[in-house]
Amino acid sequence: MGKRKGFKLRIILGLLVISSIVLTAVVGGYLAVTANVKSLSYNYLESNYQYAKKLASNTTDILDIMQNNMNSVARLAGESTFSQRDLDIWFKANEQYFNSVFIADSRRQIKAVTPDQEYSLVGSRLTSKASAQAVETRASIISEPYVAATGRLILLISSPIYDAQGNYKGFAGGTIYLQEDNVLSRLLSEHFYGNGSYVYVTDNHAHLIFHPDCRRINRTIIGNDVVQQAISGKSGSAEITNTQGTSFFVGYAYEPRGGWGIVSQTPVSVLDEPLKKLVWSILLHALPICIVILFVAWRVSRYISTPLYELAKFSEDAVVSKKSVPPAMSKISSLIYEVRQLHHSIGNHLNHLNDEIHIDGLTGLANRKTFDLTLEEWLDERQPFALILIDIDFFKRVNDMYGHVVGDEVLKYLASEMRLFAGLEDLCFRYGGEEFGIVMKHASLQKAVELADTLRQEMAKGPGPNGVEVTISIGIAIYNETELLTSKEIVERVDVALYRSKLEGRNRITVFTPEEI
C-alpha cells in the first residue's frame, strides 16, 4: 500500500471558503436585520433629541430677542417725549414677534396700546396674574402661559419703565397669542411629518401649550415621565409607550427662558416598512451574491494555493528524482503582498490646501476675506444693507500701556459684544488691526444706528478687560438696490464716516451723507 499523500491545499481552501460563505450569509442576514433595527432606533432617538434640543435653543433665542425688544420699548417709554405714534411705529417694525404691545402705569392702567381694539383699551386696568407679577417684581419677566378673558392662550413679556430720575413708572408689555400667527407659534407648531412624527410643548406645570391636536391645548399631561424630565431641566431621548399602547421614539429638551418642555416624537412603527424591504432585499440578492462571492473566493483560493502546490510538487519531484541534475525550478509569479504601502508621500500636498480659512484666529469673527466675499455677493444680488465700521479709540495706547496680551483681550471683548447685539443675519467681522465691522442685511438706517449706539454705549460704560476703559468710534453707510456702487465705494463711504467720528472727538457715531460724495 502506497503512502497516503493527504488532502491538497486547494481542496481544503475551497471547502473552507464555501462553508464560511454559507455560514456568513446566514449569520450576516440575521445581524443585518438586528443591526438595522438598532441603527434606525438610535437614529430616530438621536434625531428627535437633537431636533428637540435645537428647537429649545431657537425658542430661547426668540424669547431673548423678544425680551430685548421689550427692554428697548421700556427705555423709550421712560422718555417724556414717547407717544402713541412712537409705539405704533415700533410695533410695525416688530409685529412679527408680538400680537400686541402696551404701556401700563404702576397701577396696571393701560396708557397706550397697539393695535387697539374696536373699543379702546386705553384707561382700562389689567387684572391678570402676569401683569401683577410685572408690577410687583419691577423686573423683566416672561410670564407663564395663561388663558385671558378672551379665551386666548397668552404669553406676556414685560420690562419695567423708569424715568430719567430712576422713578418706577410702570411697565411695557408685549403679548403673544400662542395659538395665533407670530414668530414663536410658527416655530413651535409647524413641525409635522408624513411618517407620524410631531412636536408638542408644555409649560412648567405640564400644561400643553402647543400640540397638533388643538383640542388638547391647555390640558395637563399626567404620568408622562418624558414631560416630567423635560420640565425639570433635563434633556435626552427614550423609547416610550403612551396610554393608547403606541410606542414612540422620543427626544426631549428643556427650554430655560420659559421653563418649557419640548418633545419631538416618531412612532416606532416607522421601522416596519424599511425592515420588510431589508428582508426582501436580502432574500432576493443573497443567492446571486453568494454565487459571485463563491466564484471569486474559489479563484482567489486557487491563486493562493497554486504557487504553493507548484513548490510542493517541485520539492517532491526533486526528492524522488534519480537524475544527476535536479529538475530546474519553474518560474513562479504572484502578485500577493504581505505588506502594503503604509505611508504615502505628502510632500506635493503641502502647497495645496482644500479649504481656505475664513475665520479670524484671535476673535473668532469672520475675517476680511469673508467680508469682501459677502459684500460682493450682496452687491451682485442687489440686496440692501447697512455697513457699520468700528474702530477702537487709542488702541495703540492700550498696547503701549498694558501690553499686547491685554490688547488682544480688548479685541476679543469687542468681538463678543458685537456678537451679543448683532442679529442672526448680520455678519460680524474683523476688518484688520483694531477695526471691526457689522454688515446688516435689509437693515434700515434707524436700525443700524440703534445697534451701533447700543454697542457704543455698552463699550463706553465699561470697564473692559483688566479694567481698561475702552471706547469706540463708528461710521455707518447705507446701500440700497437703486444705487450702482462697487464694494470699494461702499467701504470708502463708511471710511469717511468713521474718519469724521474720530476727527470730531471719538466715542461717537457718524452716518455717511450724500453731501460727502
Let me know if residue 362 belongs to a domain.
no
Does one domain contain both 263 and 391?
no
pLDDT at res. 313: 65
Instruction: Return phi, psi of residue 83, to 5°.
Output: -130, 175
pLDDT tens digits, 404-425: 999 999 999 999 999 999 988 8
Does one domain contain both 104 and 204?
no
Does one domain contain both 165 and 74?
yes
Residue with cell 412648567: 204
Bigger pLDDT: 16 vs 63? 63
State which residues form the domain around 196: 45-50+182-270
Let me know if residue 328 belongs to a domain.
no
**Bridge partners, 260 (sequence order):** 255
Query: Does 321 have pLDDT greater than 70?
Result: no
Q: How many folded domains does the chain comprise?
A: 3
Across 122-131, 226-235, 237-246, least confident range: 237-246
pLDDT at res. 450: 94
Query: Does 379 have pLDDT greater than 60?
Result: yes
Contact 191, 198 (CB under 8 A): yes
Going by pLDDT thresholds of 50, 70 and 90, the confidence category of residue 3 is low
Give the mean model confidence (pLDDT) for residues 6-31. 72
pLDDT at res. 292: 76
Does one domain contain both 382 and 497?
yes
240, 270, 300: which is the final residue of a domain? 270
Contact 82, 71 (CB under 8 A): no
174, 194, 215: which is the final residue of a domain? 174
Let me know if residue 304 belongs to a domain.
no
Domain of 413: which CATH number? Answer: 3.30.70.270
Going by pLDDT thresholds of 50, 70 and 90, the confidence category of residue 479 is very high
Rounded Cα distance between 464 and 395, Å, is: 13
Burial of 444 (0-12, 13-18, 19+ CB in 10 A): middle
Contact 202, 221 (CB under 8 A): yes
Q: Is 211 helix (H, G, I), strand (E, B) or coil?
A: coil
**Over pLDDT 90: what percentage of the chain?**
36
Give the mean model confidence (pLDDT) for residues 464-493. 90
pLDDT at res. 357: 65
Let me know if residue 2 belongs to a domain.
no
Cell numbers at residue 510, please? 457718524
Bigger pLDDT: 61 vs 481? 61
pLDDT at res. 57: 92
Does one domain contain both 155 and 188?
no
Let me know if residue 131 belongs to a domain.
yes
pLDDT at res. 350: 30
Give the mean model confidence (pLDDT) for residues 20-36. 75
**Nearest C-alpha neighbor of 293 from the set 304, 284, 301:** 301
Does one domain contain both 146 and 224?
no
pLDDT at res. 409: 94
Query: Does 284 have pLDDT greater than 80?
Result: no
Domain of 89: which CATH number? Answer: 3.30.450.20
Contact 415, 365 (CB under 8 A): yes
pLDDT at res. 32: 74
Let me know if residue 161 belongs to a domain.
yes
Let me know if residue 340 belongs to a domain.
no
Supply the mean pLDDT for the chain.
Answer: 82
Does one domain contain both 105 and 131?
yes
221, 240, 270: which is the final residue of a domain? 270
Does one domain contain both 416 and 510?
yes
Does one domain contain both 372 and 512?
yes
Indicate the pTM of the whole model: 0.50
Residue type at position 400: D
Does one domain contain both 380 and 252?
no
Does one domain contain both 375 and 499?
yes
Let me know if residue 315 belongs to a domain.
no
Sheet of strand 435-441, all strands in order from the earlier edge strand to the far edge = 427-432, 435-441, 385-392, 472-479, 509-511
Does one domain contain both 420 and 490?
yes
